[in-house]
Structure 1
Amino acid sequence: MNVPYLDQLQGKVDHCQHLLADFDTLAFLPAQPSNEAGFRNKAKMVISGTTAQPTIGILDAEGHGVDLRNCGVIDPALRAMFPVIERFIRELKLIPYDVPKRKGELKHVILTLSDTGAIMVRWVLRTKKHFVALRSSLPQFVEQLPPGSVVSVNFLPEHKAVLEGEEEIILTRRTTLQFELNGIPMHLRPQGFFQTNTQIAAALYRQAAQWINDVNPESVWDLYSGVGGFALHSAAPGRAVYGIETSSEAVEAAKTSAASLGLEDAHFMAQDATEFALNAGWAPDAVIVNPPRRGISAELSQWLNDSDVEHIIYSSCNAQSLARDLKRLSNYTPQLARVMDMFPQTNHYEVIVKLQRSAA
């Protein structure tokens, strides 16, 4: 964080170019910079300490709380919520979870900020002991939130290093947090995934949409589609888009967005990306992949390489797995790449690559 921002950004470009140096056909577009501070739209805060003096932040190596309420990468609108969270912990007598002792109730508070200003607040509890108190206080709590906000309670009974459990109860009538990226409404449910940097997410979707529109395919698959960002931005009259995502919550959110836009030829399914591709029985003109850090599977790489897919857009948060996958896609020529600084003040970044099937 002591490195000047432009030097940080250039270091990421250099790192990516080094990892992809074997692909001499690849040209790099100028990197997409981010705001240096206050860019993070999500705060996953561990609650520790005591009811009277709660700590909102992370845990150190011994399991003691480190307060991060003034963390510079978190959006100021989220930081403004921390005093409200603290006040309700005290007033409702919520008991923070003590990790070393494995006692207590309130484990985490997860906050997500929309570009509309609305906030999703998720209280993560060990048991239902404090649930009634949180539900009863909802009218007073919602008064402290911007319009369009969502409040839920998640239950994580196990003692393990995860942020949330499977059971979630939404307390507000509104069940999704709405974003408005590039004029496209997108919806996030409590257990759905959304990029942590809204500014760069919008730029990433614009870049992919530009490349898709340049080649103008009749059909597009968006694999690992999440809440449908790439698919929704790629939709156009006469073009069928298919979003494939394992999370049923994310798929429902994508369907909500598509319906609000009147996209009758946008289809979203909850299924494994590799399984879908191998069993579809047909191939689209273009495929967008946005996999987790491990990259796409060897089976999906092989299927793509042997398919009739003409164009691939690969959005990656791990250039090392990207380099491996590009080598597997030997029947394609990587043409353009662009580093998108999704994670300023860290060594991580997103990179998006445009590939075209090589001439026979």
Structure 2
Amino acid sequence: MQCAYFDAAVCGSCTLMGQSYDEQLAGKDRHARHLLAAHRTIEWMPPVASRETGFRNKVKMVVGGSQQHPTLGILDAGGAGVDLRDCGILQPGLRATFPALAEFIGLAKLEPYSVPRRRGELKNLILTESPAGELLLRFVLRTTEALPRIRKHLPALLERMPQLRVASANLLPEHKAVVEGAEEIPLTEQQTLTMEVNGIRMMLRPQSFFQTNTEIAAALYRQAREWVDEVGPSSVWDLYCGVGGFALHSALTDANSGAPGREVVGVEASAEAIESARLAARSMPGLRFVTSDATAFAVEHSGAPDLVIVNPPRRGIGSTLAEWLEGSGVRHVVYSSCNAQSLAKDLERMPSLLPVRARVLDMFPHTGHYEVITLLERR
């Protein structure tokens, strides 16, 4: 992939841009194998490639410039806006929204937030596109000052963007380098975006996390379901379940027929994500979701399921949960990791759970990041 922004040195976010995609994928596969080389029990499956362009379903556009001439993209070293509306890794449906959004900023008189001056209202626009082409839009604001104008002119935006289903405002009053704040204010009656993956209708609310590459997420969930079905557990815990992707896929023995299968519990600390997961699971009696810290949920239970799925943040599951899994008697673990280094550390803490299969999935082309999923089996 050729990127004019990277070539002009105005955006370096895609650190591997310019390297052939085949080389990128092979390098990630080698990296994962190197980090897990001590585990000679692993059968490595071929890596799963992504599309090189138009693969990203979510974007955070930092708003700079002025009301009438906003920039949508990132900030440079001095805090000035850099416009990245033609970013080639974004899905085409996202890129198509930018003219209407730039016009709306002027119409609603939304003053872009200036980092150097610490003045202004509109900090970021966060957009997610579903597989059906529907959109979720979040305005990240410093205060509620602009809300009346946003509400007044929102019908005009909805007319320009008929695919927009969910809109909300997020309040981030602090001057700090974070994406969003804690408070979310609905702007549309609908507050859930349907994300259909592998024939399963997942639900996404504004403050919920969803993998940024839908096609690779679908492959990841299929791989996990294949291993779960092969093992055939009667009970499963999905820890760090997010909006329930692994749990929803694992709860069906046949996703095409919709037949209920094993008992599955999804656990996630984010109440918003759990609400999304529960909405998706309304017709699945064998599946329930719990708002809780994953480690606390596990260690506080007297029993254990047949199989545990973990999909932790980059820091990994940590020593407490790894030690619990080691002593729990759980027969199998499916570990999906976005950081093979923390995965390697966690595996050292669980010597009785041998990694027997592993696969790299390229969730993040043109960067050094990737997903690796492993099946662990108690010896």
TM-score by length of 1: 0.97
Residue 147 of structure 1, CA deviation? 4.1
2:309 to 264, 273, 288: 288
User: 2:69 — aligned with what?
Assistant: 53
Deviation at residue 44 of structure 1 after TM alignment = 0.2
Which residue type is aligned with residue 83 of structure 1? Answer: P
Residue identity opposite 1:23 in structure 2: H
Out of 87-96 and 334-343, give the one that drifted further.
87-96
Q: CA deviation at 1:144?
A: 2.4
| 1:195 paired to 2:211 | yes
Q: Deviations over 1:159-210 (max 9, x none)?
A: 1111111111111111111100001100111011000000000000000000
* Partner residue, 1:229: 245
Per the alignment, residue 117 of structure 1 pairs with 133
Q: Which residue of 2 aligns with 1:243?
A: 266
Structure 1 counterpart of 2:240, which letter?
Y
Q: Distance in 2 between matches of 1:304 and 1:24?
A: 21
Distance 2:276 2:39 in 1: 37
Deviation at 1:148, TM superposition (A): 6.3
Distance 1:127 1:30 in 2: 49
- Aligned-partner SS, 1:233: helix
Provide the residue aligned with 2:331 in structure 1: 310
The whole-number CA distance in structure 1 between the counterparts of 2:296 and 2:220 is: 26
Q: 1:257 is matched with which residue: 267, 280, 283?
A: 280
1:231-282 Cα deviation digits (max 9, x unpaired): 00000334100000000000011000000xx111101011000000000111
Counterpart code for 2:365:
P
User: Is 1:133 aligned to 2:149, yes or no?
Assistant: yes
In the aligned structure 2, how far is the partner of 1:340 from the partner of 1:95?
40
How much identity, in percent, do the aligned residues show? 56
Task: Give the secondary structure class of the aligned counterpart of 2:176.
Answer: coil
Aligned residues: 356
CA RMSD of aligned residues (A): 0.9
TM-score by length of 2: 0.93
Please say if residues 148 and 174 of structure 1, whose CA atoms lie closer than 8 Å, have aligned partners that are also in contact.
Answer: no
User: 1:268-313 CA distances to partner (integer Å, 9 max, x unpaired)?
Assistant: 0110000000001110000000000000020100010001100000
Note the C-alpha offset of 1:321.
0.3
Please tell me the residue identity of whatever aligns with 2:377.
Q
Q: How does 1:1-360 map to 2 (within 5 A)?
A: 1-147=17-163, 149-236=165-252, 237-259=260-282, 262-358=283-379
- Check the 8 A contact 1:27/1:337 in 2, yes or no: yes
Q: Which amino acid aligns with 1:322?
A: L
Give the distance between the partners of 1:141 and 1:148, measured in 2 at CA: 9
Structure 1 stretch displaced more, 89-98 or 284-293:
89-98
2: CA distance between counterparts of 1:210 and 1:49? 49
> What amino acid does structure 2 have at the position aligned with 1:194?
F
- The offset of 1:146, in angstroms, is 3.9
Q: Is the CA contact 2:112–2:120 (under 8 Å) kept in the aligned structure 1?
A: yes
In structure 1, stretches of 5+ residues that fail to align are none
> C-alpha separation between the residues in 2 aligned to 1:313 and 1:143?
45
Structure 1: 4+ residue segments shifted above 4 A: none
Q: Where does the alignment leave 5 or more consecutive residues of structure 2 unmatched?
A: 1-16, 253-259
